[in-house]
Homo-oligomer: A and B are copies of this chain.
Amino acid sequence: MQTTRRGRPGYDQQGILAVAVAAFNEHGYDATSIGMLAERLGLSKSAIYHHFGSKDEILDRALDSALGGLEAVVDAPLPVDAGAADAVARLEHVLRGAVHVLVDQLPAVTLLLRVRGNTDVERRALTRRRAFDRRITALVAEAQAEGALRSDIDAAVVARLTFGMINSIVEWYRPGGREGADRLADDVVAIALDGLRHP
């Protein structure tokens, strides 16, 4: 890890990455030139190429960070005890975890959600995203089989619509707003599981 900052004026990869991801989200990856990044960083274009081999590599690092965060949520869905929780409880925990990853890594996840698969880097990221989706769908199907969730809607559709709701948070959530991540996760779970209709 060369994340340790020693020389004062110089940037390290993390510093450049943060600025780059912000710029990618503002203007889109393609519309963001290396020159624009250089300007924001107060560097020359070639200084950036000292840290990253290509523009694609910058994107690759950012996407890996976001995917790692999301994968960690489904990899460790156990809240406190090791007791085998039912599928709905695990699903609810995953939904809350995903909201928190979205909020905590807002720029990287935002970038991830806009990837369309036009380059090798983007296609690899999409493959990992699809694997994530399949695990969510399996969890939904399990909860349906347990009789805890309604079974009149296809599990894959449920997974897509529910995560569509969660993912849309990157479109409007800004840190420091009225809504905290915990409250937001409560709202998402409330709508997804119990609906908007007044009880």
Contact = CB atoms under 8 A, between A and B. Distances in A.
Nearest to A133: B172
Contact of A193 (B167, B193, B196): B196
A157 B118 contact: no
A160 B149 contact: no
A47 interface: no
A27 interface: yes
Q: Which of A30, A88, A114 has the most CB of B within 10 A?
A: A30
A194 B190 CA distance: 10
A153 interface: yes
Contacts of A7: none
B198 A197 contact: no
A169 B157 CA distance: 9
Given A28-B30, A118-B28, A168-B165, A193 B188 contact: no
A15 interface: no
Contacts of A199: 150
A137 to B, nearest CB: 12
Given A195-B194, A199-B150, A164 B171 contact: yes
20 contacts: A27-B116, A27-B118, A28-B29, A28-B118, A147-B198, A149-B196, A150-B197, A153-B187, A157-B184, A157-B187, A158-B187, A158-B191, A158-B196, A161-B165, A161-B169, A161-B191, A164-B164, A164-B165, A191-B192, A193-B197
What are the nearest 9 A-B pairs in CB distance?
A: A164-B168, A195-B195, A30-B31, A165-B165, A194-B195, A30-B30, A193-B197, A149-B196, A153-B187
